Structure 1
């Protein structure tokens, strides 16, 4: 099978994208042809967006050996502004300064023609879970798979749900080996009305010996603003890598809780005597309350994606690449 890989975490990095090299190696070891187009930097929380009006410039990543060092996987490689010559047999991935959806478009239609048609797009593995509606609707990982689906190509969004960021390399290798089996099974047994699957694999020991379940997506929502009012803006905005690192620390704390291990701003608009509103000048910082998400999972009954991952099971959620209408409405509106 010819598989196109993309993600929303960027090229291999122990800090921000620690899993993609492992998955690619596992797919290759299983006999699959793997082509790779990744964003050249962190592009999480961007959904299925495209960077309209932007000229996209590729660079090229040449992965080094994947090996364990000091109890962690070592993701090594070099980046070049020019591709290898056509007669080279070395492995090379394409990096583009775009979104996961942009990577899919470029990978499907502008590269790899000599390697034959692409059978499947796998977006991921994401650094962290993509369960529940709140996470999924903003996920760049799922956005990449959605883009493939609206291009008529089968797609799987793959996420690794961690409970502790200090991963044993064997646990990551086990998750990748299990993911290959799940990918192969879904491709061979593709649902008739399914456009894409969202798969969440927990990073736990012997994950392949635990259950793999079809699930529904837990429908949850924010209970308040995802922004915090700040008095004075920071001199420099945090980059996406710093924001993602803070989020992963919070997810790690929640993961330990699940495994049995372990604010708001001021400034209100005020009415004037003539009924107009005078707006207080404010600055805002993105600070979502992930407690809402985890609480919704804790309170949900069995059968959904959040519950499955919390229990240490692999979650497989069949999806369609559309905003499905609600039934029961028809005819003219008499206004």
Structure 2
């Protein structure tokens, strides 16, 4: 197959994108033609967004061979503003300063014509799980797969669920090899009612010997109030996306512990006595979602959903449709 790979974590990096090179190498070793278009930087939690009004400028990434160094994968490479000459045999990936969904559009329609039609889009592997509705609705990984689906191309959103961030090269390699088996199976046995699949592979030893389960997506919600925390007037520049994402990955390791953040935030405005208009208090906010809501919903749910499967360290495969499905039973005119 000709497979287009994208992600929302950006080019290979031990800090923010440690899995994509391993997956690409595993797909190539299985005989697939792999073309790669990635965001040039971290684009997590961006869903299926496009950056309206922005001109996209590609750069070109040349991955170095995978190797193991001090127990970690060394998978960096070089980036150039210009592509390799056409007669070069060196591997080259495309980086674009936009979103996963934009990467899919550009990869499907503007590159790789000489390699033949793209048969499948794989978005991922995400650095962390994408289970339950709360995570999935904001996921750039799933957003990229959704974009492919609405372009009429089969797609798989792939996420690697970690329980610690040791990034053992052997476990990553096994997860990549297992993912290739799942991808090949789904491609050969594609259900006509599925537009895409969300696959979550746990980073555990002998993952290929553990169960791979069909699951439903756990329908959950935020229950602890705002995902924003009131802060004092910031004195420094905002944190970068990679720093915030790293903090969230650390929070995943602490799943089940007491959540962090400010409790008892005020309502956001003051209403003077006798006034007819609201007088708003000037405030600053920081995005600080309470991930405990997600993990608690998984603990409270019955078996069979994607969150439960990953908690039990099984691979979860969830068939999805790329739409907002309407609620049945409403027809005719509204009589107001």
For this structure pair, what is the TM-score category when the shorter chain's length is used for normalisation? over 0.9
> What is the TM-score of this pair, normalised by structure 1?
0.96
How far apart, in 2, do the equivalents of 1:60 and 1:274 lie? 59
Is 1:264 paired with 2:260?
no
> What is the TM-score of this pair, normalised by structure 2?
0.96
Is 1:197 paired with 2:197?
yes
For the residue of structure 2 that corresponds to 1:25, the secondary structure is helix
How far apart, in 1, do the equivalents of 2:76 and 2:283 lie? 43
How far apart, in 2, do the equivalents of 1:112 and 1:296 lie? 43
Unaligned runs of 5+ in 2: none
How do 1:208-227 residues align onto structure 2 when only pairs under 5 Å count?
208-223=208-223, 224-227=225-228
How do 1:136-285 residues align onto structure 2 when only pairs under 5 Å count?
136-223=136-223, 224-254=225-255, 263-264=262-263, 266-268=265-267, 269-272=269-272, 273-285=274-286
- Kept in 1, the 8 Å contact 2:142–2:198? The answer is yes
- Kept in 1, the 8 Å contact 2:63–2:92? The answer is yes
Q: Identify which range, 180-189 or 223-232, moves more after superposition.
A: 223-232
Query: How far did 1:182 drift?
Result: 0.1
Q: Which residue of 2 aligns with 1:317?
A: 318
How far apart, in 2, do the equivalents of 1:170 and 1:95 lie? 27
- Kept in 2, the 8 Å contact 1:229–1:265? The answer is no
- Kept in 2, the 8 Å contact 1:229–1:264? The answer is no
How do 1:122-137 residues align onto structure 2 when only pairs under 5 Å count?
122-137=122-137
For the residue of structure 2 that corresponds to 1:254, the secondary structure is coil
Q: Which residue of 2 aligns with 1:35?
A: 35
Is 1:11 paired with 2:11?
yes
Q: Deviations over 1:41-71 (max 9, x none)?
A: 0000000000111110000000101011111
For the residue of structure 1 that corresponds to 2:101, the secondary structure is helix
How far apart, in 2, do the equivalents of 1:60 and 1:192 lie? 36
Q: Which residue of 1 aligns with 2:98?
A: 98
How far apart, in 1, do the equivalents of 2:196 and 2:265 lie? 42
Q: Deviations over 1:135-170 (max 9, x none)?
A: 000000000000000000000000000001012110
How far apart, in 2, do the equivalents of 1:46 and 1:76 lie? 24
How far apart, in 1, do the equivalents of 2:140 and 2:230 lie? 26
How far apart, in 1, do the equivalents of 2:92 and 2:71 lie? 27
- Kept in 2, the 8 Å contact 1:59–1:96? The answer is yes
For the residue of structure 1 that corresponds to 2:335, the secondary structure is coil
Q: Deviations over 1:232-259 (max 9, x none)?
A: 224200000000000000112228x8xx
Query: How far did 1:265 drift?
Result: 6.0
Count residues in correspondence. Answer: 329
How far apart, in 2, do the equivalents of 1:167 and 1:45 lie? 22
- Kept in 2, the 8 Å contact 1:156–1:198? The answer is yes
How far apart, in 1, do the equivalents of 2:265 and 2:325 lie? 38
How far apart, in 1, do the equivalents of 2:255 and 2:163 lie? 7
Q: Which residue of 2 aligns with 1:327?
A: 328
Q: Identify which range, 200-209 or 228-237, moves more after superposition.
A: 228-237
Is 1:306 paired with 2:318?
no
- Kept in 2, the 8 Å contact 1:122–1:157? The answer is yes
